[in-house]
Chains A and B, each alone.
Chain A
Amino acid sequence: MILATFHWGWLLLASLLGFAMGWIAVVHRGHGVSRALAGWLGALVAVLLAASLTHLVPGRPGYWLDLGLMIFAVYLVGCTVGSWLRNRVLPGPGGAS
């Protein structure tokens, strides 16, 4: 809880960034991350999450890891919400899927 109350400003910033990124992603024409790389990135996040939950990293780096994961989680939530909303308001065939 203290992380949320103590860092709410940064978390809000991360969620807004996520929302904006999600909003853009729906109409973005560039290349996405390949499936294989996404897998590796997912595994990396899983490992970091496991390290955080098991309190494996001591002292300040441990705190930084927790904070990073939290910011990242909020970012993902922001992205999801952004993409979903953009998809809803977008006219055309994209809006139906």
Chain B
Amino acid sequence: MRGLVRWSSKWWPGTIPLAVIWALAVWSNTSPLETELAGRSTEALKDIVLDKSKIAVSGRDVTLAADAFSEEGRRNAVAAIEAVPGVRLVNDETRLIPEAKPFVWSAERDVVRVTLTGSSPLPVTKGKLLEAARAGLGGVEVVDQTNLSRGAPPRFDEAALLLLDQVVRLKDGKITISDTKVSLAGMARDLGGREAIAAALKNLPEGFSVAANEIKAPPYVFQANKDPVASTVTLTGYVPDNNAHAAIVAATGRKFFNEKVVDNLKNSLGAPSGFSNAVVPALGALSRLSTGTLVVSEREVKLSGDALYDAAAGQLRANLIKDFPQGWQLKADISVKPAAAPVDATVCQQLFSEVLAKGTIRFESGRSSIDADSAGLLDHLIEIALRCPATNIEVAGHTDTDGDGSTNQALSEKRAQAVVDYLVRAGLPVSRFTATGHGSAQPIAANDTDEGKARNRRIEFVVKEQP
């Protein structure tokens, strides 16, 4: 033993190379060791739910910064890293995520996007809700601005998922969960959407209740747009039922002699009373416009566009409201189309023939009263007559061979006269027109079919130069 003490006093020279070995070990091993420990620590945290977890290793000391969702989760995380072999110390920089009180989550929909705000209990819930929103809303942009917080009520996920399904039914609005109270505001996308949402809210998980449901039904809107360039009249919006749908489309077809009817109407309950009785005359007014739009919203009719001539605009402004049922309102914004260039008698005759080839002036059966459906056609005829002021026009009535000759002769004369009266009321000078009746004497088609007879029942305009 004494020898060992004696020898050991001579061991010191070895400490110099030993220090070099130490320095080399430090130089070559510090970084690899830290990397190794960081990897093992990350692995140890794999099954613990944390947010924003960050591991920093300095030597053998691990600094763990993370947001934990419970005190227990926080303790478990620190313990898991302490158990990693080689770790000397754990600097615990974890914190509990703040508790939200009340715990508020909301989904807001506007024109372009859906925004999720407020609190989410766990990252997995946050992800699940965002994914559900994206799946339910198709191509609509979804923005997730939720923060993670503690304090969510039990069965929060279930409630939020159910409410996200309701966001799909909204045009715009906001659905909020505040602790266990659900409140909704906004407007449903479709008629009936409000009711569907109310029904779905009955399935909210236990413990949740509806504090306020202020979802509004969308207004009952019907629209018609006359496009003279595409030569179409487009119907969109709602109609009460199949019968009204068919009646409105048929009336549109009769009133718009020159346009193709594009029918995008949907059937839906909730129409204001007198809907069809207001829409049909309003469509008649639209048919008298060169270009225009008709919007029927609840009990208000908005008509805008260009009339073909001054008197027509005046008639529409003054008389259309009289055709509506009680309680309906009209907002007419009607201007007058600039007058077209004058034409000579030949062109004038050609224009009349073209228009009358597309549409026929209709009368009530067996009588000489002009059917209201022909107002649009007559306005076009009047517009043409205004373009050739230096001509006289013979308005000639024709009938088919049904009934006896003298009756037909008288009917054709009366109908021609009714048309002349209509033109004069529109402001044309009476001196330019003569009404003649030809009865069934000048057929343009055989009278043995209904189709032929219909072609023979007609009014013709014959243009003559003024002497």
Contact = CB atoms under 8 A, between A and B. Distances in A.
Interface of A: 1-3, 6-7, 10, 13-14, 17-18, 20-22, 24-26, 28, 30, 32-33, 38, 55, 58-64, 66-68, 71-72, 75-76, 79-80, 83-84, 87, 94, 97
B29 interface: yes
B18 A17 contact: yes
A87 B111 CA distance: 94
Number of contact residues on B: which range applies? 20 to 34
Given A60-B30, A63-B30, A14 B18 contact: yes
Contacts of A94: 3
Interface of B is mostly: helix
Given A58-B61, A63-B88, A75 B26 contact: no
Given A13-B21, A28-B10, A60-B30, A84 B60 contact: no
A17 B12 CA distance: 12
A1 to B, nearest CB: 6
Contacts of B341: none
Interface string B17-35: 1100110111001101100
B282 to A, nearest CB: 83
Given A22-B7, A63-B33, A1 B21 contact: no
A38 B14 contact: no
Contact of A55 (B22, B32, B89): B89
A30 B3 contact: no
Nearest to A3: B86
B363 to A, nearest CB: 104
15 contacts: A1-B86, A10-B22, A10-B25, A17-B17, A17-B18, A18-B14, A22-B11, A25-B8, A25-B11, A58-B89, A59-B58, A63-B61, A64-B59, A68-B22, A79-B14
Nearest to B24: A10
Interface centre among B15, B25, B29, B58 (most CB of A within 10 A): B25
Nearest to B28: A10
B21 A71 contact: yes
Contact of A38 (B9, B25, B36): B9
B59 A60 contact: yes
Contacts of B14: 17-18, 20-21, 75, 79
Contacts of B202: none
Interface centre among B3, B58, B60 (most CB of A within 10 A): B60
B60 A63 contact: yes
Contact of A79 (B6, B11, B21): B11
A80 B4 contact: yes
A79 B12 CA distance: 10
A64 B24 CA distance: 11
Interface string B368-379: 000000000000
A87 B3 contact: yes
B85 interface: yes
A55 B21 CA distance: 23
A61 B7 CA distance: 32
Given A76-B11, A79-B7, 12 more contacts: A6-B29, A6-B33, A6-B36, A24-B10, A66-B60, A67-B26, A71-B25, A75-B15, A79-B11, A79-B14, A83-B3, A97-B2
B138 interface: no
B13 interface: yes
B7 A25 contact: yes
A14 B26 CA distance: 14
Contacts of B11: 18, 21-22, 25, 76, 79, 83
A71 B15 CA distance: 10
Interface centre among B2, B4, B30, B59 (most CB of A within 10 A): B59
Contacts of A1: 85-86
Contacts of B2: 97
B111 to A, nearest CB: 55
Interface centre among B7, B30, B32 (most CB of A within 10 A): B7
Contact of A83 (B7, B22, B29, B59): B7
A36 to B, nearest CB: 12
A66 to B, nearest CB: 7
Interface string B39-71: 000000000000000000011110000000000
B59 A62 contact: yes
A94 B61 CA distance: 49
A26 B7 contact: yes
